[in-house]
Chains A and B, each alone.
Chain A
């Protein structure tokens, strides 16, 4: 990044009693970037977001927004707004007054507030409900009001805590794209906290995968997906096969046989795990003259765009394989199949 980062977190640590919620976390979010904090519940992502918003104080480390140190700054003096997971809409105020809340605190005039609220309602595609109370709105409408309210003061950085968590599946997918579109239009930096890998992959420019108060990997969605830095990241994002084995002469050797694979810096004889995505495994009939491992098809699941196979290898391991529709010979349950894994398709991690 050439520009100075909008949000800079350096060595952030936070404990709650005996529990370390965050340990030495550092990351940077650029201006106009869509950033995702991804991890299972309890990984510290919400704590990190609350620290940025100013609801918690750091035990160690430093948070800077736009170059200014935020230590000691109360929430109402930070150029950051937060969209709450529960939405936290004010039940005693109308939709209009909810969205206008931040504008009134800025001392804006009546006409300016009305214009800005109308603009925001149009941005989130929710017009005609200004006078209603939040409890009379649907879940999807409430979510939009919460987004509009958080955007209203024009923050440089918007934090979104599980913004789609309370929506049903269909609405969620639709809203993912809307949020991304709004972010692109407004060029505000978004930091979204989520436990849903799909959300992070679809929306974010970069993802920080967190686990137990630490950051495991920061990278673009393709990078995190294709080149997971740790075994945890490999298993957390997307479908993944893990095969146990060890390293022998530049090849990965398991109970099933041996596969040519990059050693990943592991020593000869070291115990290792091979991680390989289902779609990176080639599957073909055994009759063909190609090298590979033979297995038996245990299950075939047709899912429209893709077909998923479950194979049993000679060593007893099961392997999930997927491939695009109408690519190659059909397989039935009980068929023998030959699979091959290209050296660059798998990642090798040390056994834990």
Chain B
């Protein structure tokens, strides 16, 4: 398989604080890479560096093609309808024809079960619906790599599933994805490969089965233990 993303010795600092320390990573076409780790470990920053939202102090990020990003807080444009949100970038940036973009937008909305919401404003949608629109908005640009930054962290529990199902569906279509998440069951189900990040460094880089069943590092073990509960009664 071809390499689609190659990160070499990436270092990111905010003033004196090192957030990412000498990260090297390659992602192949069609691979689903899940990035986990305690909060503040640099996982969101890593996605932001890949998406060129942060300047980096050292190293290189090489991407074959475009990236698309989905944010924890959706970040739909509140003054535009769902359809306008979806059509803005393809028409303005890619200079595609409106009719063609509209048709694709409607097809994609149908696939995520939101056809009836195309003329609604984001304020009229639930969190889960907003996030599904945000995913479609990234998809319609036909990015080579999709970046998901804790996309279910702001959602009510009953809405998490509808968003994760959309992402699972994308994995079946062999999209290349980098997913930062705290949903461990989801991570295990969707990942081809898991990266465990702590203190700005990659501690483990392995298969989901190995990471979840037999983590090598003490730090990964203690991280995974935070998701377990002892029986009380």
**Same complex origin of A and B:** no
Binding site for A on B (CB under 8 A): none
